[in-house]
Amino acid sequence: AGTEPRRAMASAVPSNANEGCVGPSSSQAGKASACAGCPNQQKCASGRGAEADPSALVVKDKLSAVKHTILVLSGKGGVGKSTVASQVAWGLAETDVEVGILDIDICGPSMPRMMGVEDEEVHKSGSGWSPVMAADNLAVMSVGFMLGNKTDAVIWRGPRKTGLIKQFLTDVDWGNLDYLIIDAPPGTSDEHISIAKLLKEVSIDGAVIVTTPQEVALLDVRKEISFCRKTKIPILGVVENMSGFECPKCGNTTNIFPPVSGGAVEMCKQMNVPYLGHIPVDSKLLEACEKGESFLARGSPGGPAVRPLQTFIGTITEKVTGVGITFGSPGDSKQGG
């Protein structure tokens, strides 16, 4: 599969555009045959469609000290997207770089627990909201910190969700970050449209899409890939989570989620996106997430998910920076070529 290059999102296609939209910055904007009947046709034809969104310009300024921005997406819920996002953040932090993780899953925030900071609160200062620190070099922000009770439901319509996501990007004092990991909710909903619009002036590095092997999950991944392409979000690749279970007694592997259509490997070939590897079911990985800890820092060297997770994180960093990470035994990692 080919690699989709990092690129700015200034010409992102509007979410309500017709199929085959040429983009608001194109010289054919509002004039191409695909523009006929589009609600944005008049705006694009006038040249106003190519104008930068003021909110996106504010976000660009606020995130100017962030070197790399990575979205973590999934087509379907329950595939372990937040598990992957949290452990990528933990793994990167183990390399002594500055990491932030932003949870924009407004209705189902998981990061406070998975990062071990669910009893903390967000504080506001003259420079904005201060993120909660899971480690000296690992900052966390989530709506979960703002709930009066952990069991409170967030029942918000789209505009209010968009408003909070904008605040997370413009009012949080992230400081200097090497990586900002953004954990989005599953699907292609209001949160996704908002983040694509707000980040369109930021040269984000791309999206990691998480799936499980079965076709019912892959069906929705294809839609997620389509969404990324339509909104001009670069795709770093797809990782297959919960990919087999290795029995700790006999060592045999069972496909709990049978890859009847060839799994993520075959789907990536069909959709022409990079395959980033697989992560098997590992009880120690799940336990680390429940306890809000770094799996790679505490896991058993022989655990089935250790090496695949290390390889996956190394692949991402190499795609983003050109330099991968070499991990030793759990707790040891270093930058390497």
pLDDT over 90 percentage in the chain = 59
Query: Does the pLDDT at position 332 exceed 80?
Result: no
Full-model pTM: 0.83
Which pLDDT score is estimated for 5?
36
The confidence score (pLDDT) of residue 296 equals 92
| Mean pLDDT within 286-315 | 89
The structure tokens 């201060």 sit at: 130
pLDDT in tens, 109-158: 999 999 999 999 998 888 889 999 999 999 999 999 988 788 888 888 88
Place of tokens 């034809």: 45
Instruction: Write the CA distances from 294 to 99, 104, 290, integer angstroms.
Output: 14, 21, 10
Confidence of residue 11 (pLDDT cuts 50, 70, 90): very low
Strands 206-211 and 66-74: parallel
CA distance 111 to 83: 9
* Average per-residue pLDDT for the chain: 87
Which one is predicted more confidently, 30 or 291?
291
Which spans in 64-182 are helix H? Answer: 81-93, 111-114, 158-170
Q: What is the pLDDT of residues 24-75, one digit of tens each?
A: 767 677 788 888 888 887 878 776 655 667 888 999 999 999 999 999 999 9
- According to DSSP, residue 175 is labeled -
In this prediction, residue 39 carries a pLDDT of: 83
CA of residue 99 relative to chain centroid, distance: 14
Calculate mean pLDDT across residues 184-200.
89
**Which of 161 and 125 is assigned the larger pLDDT?**
161
Is 274 in contact with 238 (CB distance < 8 Å)? yes
14 band by pLDDT with thresholds 50, 70 and 90? low
pLDDT of residue 268: 97
Residue-level pLDDT at 145: 93
State the pLDDT at residue 69: 97
DSSP assignment of 239-282 equals: EEEEEEEE-TTT--EE-SS--TT-HHHHHHHHHT--EEEEEEE-
According to DSSP, residue 189 is labeled: S
- On whether the CB atoms of residues 288 and 296 are closer than 8 A, the answer is no
- What is the average pLDDT across 78-91? 97
Q: Do 305 and 295 meet the contact criterion of CB atoms below 8 Å apart?
A: yes
Q: Residue 315 pLDDT > 80, yes or no?
A: yes
pLDDT 10s digits, 225-273: 999 999 999 999 999 999 999 888 888 889 999 899 999 999 999 999 9
- Kindly tell me if the per-residue pLDDT of 95 is higher than 70: yes
Over range 287-295, report the average pLDDT: 95
Q: Which residue has the higher pLDDT, 13 or 162?
A: 162
232 within 8 A of 206, measured Cβ to Cβ: no
pLDDT at position 13 is: 64
Q: Is the pLDDT of residue 4 over 60?
A: no
pLDDT at 168: 93
CA 236 → CA 6, 109, 144, 316, 337, distances in Å?
9, 24, 28, 7, 19
Provide mean pLDDT across the span 169-194. 93
